[in-house]
Structure 1
Amino acid sequence: MRYFPLFMDLLDRPVLVVGGGEVACRKVETLIRAGARVTLVSPKLEPYLLEMSQSGKCIWVQRFYQPELMKREFVQVWATTDNPELNHQVHKDAKKMGILVNVVDDTPYCDFITPSIINRGRVQIAISSGGASPVLIRGIREKLEAILPMNTAQLADFAASKRGDIKKHFVTVDERRKFWELFFKEPKVIECKNNQELEQAYQRLIGSELEFSDSCTWIEFGDDPELLPIKALRIMQEAEVVYYDKRCPFGFVDLVRRDAERIVYQDLTEISQQIIVGKEKKQRIVVFVERDSSSHLLLKEGDEVIELARLK
């Protein structure tokens, strides 16, 4: 992984954009939507940028770029001109001051790159190939756009409005997470059309006698993570603790929930007691075991085994 994915807070923070053409238009639009205070340096601007400047949404410095325009106050610098020599000068000046800089379409001169973004209000999905294949990323984005419900933003806003109330009902972060998992799986929530329907579903669920159950699921691993059953992937995303054999390919482990506790083991007997304790704590546990291993000897009552799909 060459680039570390990061969402940066630019609200009311100064950003410098050198250039006033079509490329600058695309970048400035996104920066303004993020709340940045954009300063544009260019002798002339595209109509869109000129309109943004005249409406006070950005500052236009109507001149050619000079090094003295680079100020330490800028948190980001974008070089968007069609002059590589000028763009590299902007890069050099920004680096001298320790400012993050992006020379558009010139990856070696980028401290950061911008991903393809799917925007659903509070929910944002960023997709990137590290600049290797924009066409591939565009195709992936189109597929995700097609399956992501348009009410995703409404669901996120509703959940945000309940952050205070939910803490009155559930003390621990773990309990709150499990409640929201149940809530977002409710058919009426998935198909909701307004906040009234969401409120009704919320009050109905939070007023019921909820009892969060433990589980222990044993999932086989092989050489190809793509052979994992859909059920296994769902359970892996819900698990709080994941035990994996030291021989388990990282591709399997990397598919589990990001904040799950991951514990490597060499022998199953090492973790048998830990699994028992975890279930007593109502934890959802996943154990990766090698296909055709003797793991069944350690299975407890209520444990589930999911076998890896086998090629015919």
Structure 2
Amino acid sequence: MSYGHASRLTDHVMKEAPCRSFHFSRPNSSAYWFNLMWIRGKLILTGDGCDMTFTHYQACSSFDAAIKWASESEMDYLLRKADQREEYDADATLQAIIQWANAPVIEALNGTVGERITPYEVDGQRRYRVVHLERAGGYRQICQEYRRAVARGMQDDFWGDVEDMDPRPITRRETGTEYLDMACPVFTDFYDFDPCWENWLNLWRDTLGSDWDPRGSVNTPAIVATHDGRWRIKDELERRLDKTSSRGLDCLFNGSVEHVYSWTYAQKYQFEAIQFACRKIIEAGLVDMTVQVP
């Protein structure tokens, strides 16, 4: 140590700092043991699978306040006090993408849930609540109306062709290729489809359809309307999302879907451990729960 560093410590004196430490383990087993220690301003978790320091100089200014504070805190808040950050979650991101792709298809089939604002009174005061209405406007409702028309013998007066209203088919159009750029084909020049499929078609274009040739019959846009085709797209998405440097999906790039970040299993376990420890310490009557947490 240089003289300059030593001079900073010349006037230091030693005194014992207040500290409380507790050990937790299974009887006759060392698996998942951990210690929880309090020092002024911090709670320190160490042990098998645990290594985390929770810092809050006001809430942890006393042992009683620290244990009460940690026992009552939400996971997000407490883990951030340990300088923890959520990590990229490929599985949750995949689920968000699939949900985004499915949403307009489900709405086209099952209809839209409407809302109505209804006034009511409480103690003479007028208030309002939102009432959710039954789904309407979907293909399923159209089929129900058609069946009712058939039951009344009025199917000839029905206002449309039920089959033409079906949003599910994706059909190949008879398209002359002489005026099209076959080097960079656009699938909308060759296929007719309901707008509800646009999200799935965007995923197809970014995955299985990236090298699609309209003159062939492999991996055509129509596969998104099949269970097997969507499953294959999902498998390709899963492969890409596992590689954080090679995602290449427009829905993520343009913000239609956000990357999902979640707490890891290890982080959740350590949160569970500190709250378990705090509950046990409180149950043992070692904490004054009337203390005010700063």
Interval of TM-score (by shorter of Structure 1 and Structure 2): under 0.3
Instruction: Please give the TM-score of this superposition, normalised by the length of structure 1.
Output: 0.20
TM-score (norm 2): 0.21
Greater relative contact order (CA < 8 Å, ≥ 6 in sequence): 2
